Structure 1
Amino acid sequence: MPPKVPYCRPLLTPLIHSSSSPSPITHKYWLGAKSKKMNPAKNLIPLLVFILTALSLRLLKLAIFTAPSPPFSSSPPPQQSPSPPFSSSPMPKQNTCSSPACGNAPSHPVEISISPHKTSSVNATILTEKEFKLLSNLIKRRAPCNLLIFGLEPQYRKLSKINARGTTIFLEDDSNKISAIKSKSKKTEIYKVEYSIPAKDAYKLLKHARQNPACAPGSGPLQVSKCKLALKNLPQEVYKNKWDVVVVDGPSGDAPEAPGRMSTIYTSSIIARAGNATDVIVHDIDRTIEKWFSWEFLCDDNLVSAKGKLWNFRITDQSNSTRFCPAKESMIE
């Protein structure tokens, strides 16, 4: 049998009643709330931390809301997306053109850079560097030649210099541009012309040209044509000469009420068919009117090169043709 062990008290009892001082941890857990009364400084630490934190947050918030802010403009940023000629939304108008044919259409500033770079949305007809290079290289290859330009921009003076031994004629409806260029170049032939058909009538005129035999090529001289698209009051030099290069960069055509380029593209196509091989250059081809009328009267089959918003059509001898383009499904309905 197991030996008998005399009864003894638990081992923890002497530890509790020991006369020795308990450790801080043991004393804390055994005395509970009593220890807090004996150490009041410890109770102030969390309170001080809370007060300092709250004060710091308040100072930070005060610093943020009192900091100076940049001036606020209530007007939205300017929009520079160009509107197509048939857009029904109103467009900003600048009545700087003195020609009656311009009406209320915006016009380009008289003092503009000769550089071929496009500088702003206002100077929408200025050629970019690559566009101008394509055009100037064409003139260099064909010079000396007969060069006809619808529109007058200062950068086109370089084309006249390239074609110094040839004939260069500018047709412009803005008196301010004509005066500005004439004051700087006395050798350039510049004529004032009038355009009366607004851009908003483009589709109506396109239907008229399709249905009216008087608008077909070979129907007769432009001066006596009954086609509404024919320009009949141009200088006689325009009708007498056979042109090697025709540039269409006018009139402005940048608003529904502004003169459109329907007539200049149509007239250029008739003039080109009187020559042996005529290059017709159309600028702002990204716009609806320029694209529609180029397809209709210059034909995509004759497109030989393009750069940016500039298309180059080459029209060979088609004086006996009764159609502008080969018979096929029309691109515009």
Structure 2
Amino acid sequence: MKNPNNNNTKLILLHPYTPKQGSSNRLWLLTFISILTIAFLLTFVYTRESISATAPARPPVIAASVSAINNAGPLSPTVVNTLLHYASKSNDTYHMPYSDLKHISDALRKCSQPCNLLVFGLTHETLLWKALNHNGRTVFIDENRYYAAYIEEKHPEIDAFDVQYTTKRRDMKELIASAKEQVRNECRPVQNLLFSECKLGINDLPNHVYDVDWDVILVDGPRGNWPDAPGRMSAIFTAGVLARSKKGGNPKTHVFVHDFSGEVEKVCGTEFLCEENLVEGAGNLGHYVLERMDENSFQYCKNQTLSS
């Protein structure tokens, strides 16, 4: 018989597991948040579908207004005059006076719509030209690739391309002589400059620029204030070739040369745009009107002696 006082006897108790209070609270909180999230998503989807189904259509008056803006014609004289007024009042030393702005603006308003405008130089008036040629095609050419990229980034509506000029202002006489010697070959007055090796021709613009029939061309660049500056010889020569090489549209092209009192502008204007085409040359703006020429033409001006 075992001794009841034996200390080796052990008592084992069995009871169900009860989780800790902290874990239980976290589980209930997670469940509650999940329920709220599902309820919110269901409410959001239902509300969005209800709004979409019951939202009224755009009123006819608003729809007509949007259509009118998208298909608007030329700017009214009041708007044009307002733009010219404030542009000419700028404190910028290099801005154009009202008389020059008005002269170019009048040419844009008279050309067929939409009007094709090519501008050499990104200047104080860049946004003005874009605005005045409303609904038309406006392209800017500048020698500073970084500034052209900056303008396009800041104003995405502006089409600006950079060009690497290889000319020097001090070489003007030699470049003019070379162009006249090559008048029957690389420097023809009627040609596609994309395929030309003429020293004065600009041949590295985007291909589509050479295919456009430009109605108005403004030469307001590049720089030419010192001997090693590019000068505007190439821009003026290229403007003359583009104007004479039109394939369609209006046979006439208005070519404006800013800073017309400068030596390069006057000399190259006389050589490649021609005195007989000069409509107005008073003040600081030269205005030429060039006509489309036959592709077999080998003379820039009527009164020039043809070089051999």
Fold equivalence (TM over 0.5): yes
2:148 is paired with a residue of what secondary structure? helix
2:257 is paired with a residue of what secondary structure? strand
Does 2:297 align with 1:326? no
How far the C-alpha of 1:234 sits from its partner, in A, is 0.9
2:266 is paired with a residue of what secondary structure? helix
Kept after mapping to 2: 8 A contact 1:118/1:127: no
Counterparts of 1:264-303 in structure 2 under 5 Å?
264-275=235-246, 276-303=251-278
Q: Residue 119 and residue 272 in structure 1: after superposition, are their counterparts in 2 closer, same or farther (change >3 A)?
A: same
2:280 is paired with a residue of what secondary structure? strand
Task: Give the aligned residue type for 1:181.
Answer: I
Does 2:194 align with 1:223? yes
Does 2:127 align with 1:157? yes
How far the C-alpha of 1:185 sits from its partner, in A, is 2.2
Deviation string, structure 1 residues 277-330 (Cα, Å, up to 9, x no partner)? 111111111111111110001001001234521111111121332211013579
Does 2:226 align with 1:255? yes
Deviation string, structure 1 residues 47-74 (Cα, Å, up to 9, x no partner)? xxxxxxxxxxxxxxxxxxxxxxxxxxxx
Corresponding position of 1:127: 96
Task: Give the aligned residue type for 1:138.
Answer: A
TM-score of the two chains, using structure 2 as the length reference: 0.64
In the aligned structure 1, how far is the partner of 2:178 from the partner of 2:149?
A: 36
- Segments of 5+ residues of structure 1 without an aligned counterpart are 1-113
In the aligned structure 1, how far is the partner of 2:103 from the partner of 2:128?
A: 13
In the aligned structure 2, how far is the partner of 1:216 from the partner of 1:167?
A: 26
1:294 is paired with a residue of what secondary structure? helix
Counterparts of 1:19-168 in structure 2 under 5 Å?
115-116=87-88, 119=91, 123=94, 126-142=95-111, 143-168=113-138
TM-score of the two chains, using structure 1 as the length reference: 0.59
Kept after mapping to 2: 8 A contact 1:118/1:128: no
Corresponding position of 2:20: none
In the aligned structure 2, how far is the partner of 1:209 from the partner of 1:198?
A: 15
In the aligned structure 2, how far is the partner of 1:239 from the partner of 1:173?
A: 18
Kept after mapping to 1: 8 A contact 2:118/2:216: yes
Deviation string, structure 1 residues 195-224 (Cα, Å, up to 9, x no partner)? 121111101101111222321323x42122
Counting matched residue pairs gives 213
Q: Runs ≥4 in structure 1, deviation > 4 angstroms? A: 117-121
How far the C-alpha of 1:263 sits from its partner, in A, is 0.7
In the aligned structure 2, how far is the partner of 1:269 from the partner of 1:217?
A: 7
1:154 is paired with a residue of what secondary structure? coil
In the aligned structure 2, how far is the partner of 1:135 from the partner of 1:251?
A: 19
Kept after mapping to 1: 8 A contact 2:142/2:163: yes
Write 1 or 2 for the structure with the bigger share of helix. Answer: 2
Among 247, 269, 285, the alignment partner of 1:310 is: 285
In the aligned structure 1, how far is the partner of 2:230 from the partner of 2:120?
A: 13
Corresponding position of 1:210: 180
Counterparts of 1:227-246 in structure 2 under 5 Å?
227-246=198-217
Q: Residue 292 and residue 149 in structure 1: after superposition, are their counterparts in 2 closer, same or farther (change >3 A)?
A: same
In the aligned structure 1, how far is the partner of 2:287 from the partner of 2:89?
A: 19
Q: Residue 259 and residue 184 in structure 1: after superposition, are their counterparts in 2 closer, same or farther (change >3 A)?
A: same
Task: Give the aligned residue type for 2:155.
Answer: S
2:96 is paired with a residue of what secondary structure? coil
- Segments of 5+ residues of structure 2 without an aligned counterpart are 1-85
Task: Give the aligned residue type for 1:251.
Answer: P
Corresponding position of 1:170: 140
Q: What percentage of aligned pairs have identical amino acids? A: 32
Q: Residue 127 and residue 267 in structure 1: after superposition, are their counterparts in 2 closer, same or farther (change >3 A)?
A: same
Deviation string, structure 1 residues 231-285 (Cα, Å, up to 9, x no partner)? 1101112111111011111101111111111111111100000221111111111
Kept after mapping to 1: 8 A contact 2:192/2:245: no
In the aligned structure 2, how far is the partner of 1:255 from the partner of 1:119?
A: 24
Kept after mapping to 2: 8 A contact 1:231/1:264: yes
Deviation string, structure 1 residues 75-134 (Cα, Å, up to 9, x no partner)? xxxxxxxxxxxxxxxxxxxxxxxxxxxxxxxxxxxxxxx83357566x3xx312211111
Q: RMSD of the alignment, in Å?
A: 2.1
Task: Give the aligned residue type for 2:259.
Answer: D
Q: Residue 120 and residue 190 in structure 1: after superposition, are their counterparts in 2 closer, same or farther (change >3 A)?
A: closer
How far the C-alpha of 1:226 sits from its partner, in A, is 2.7
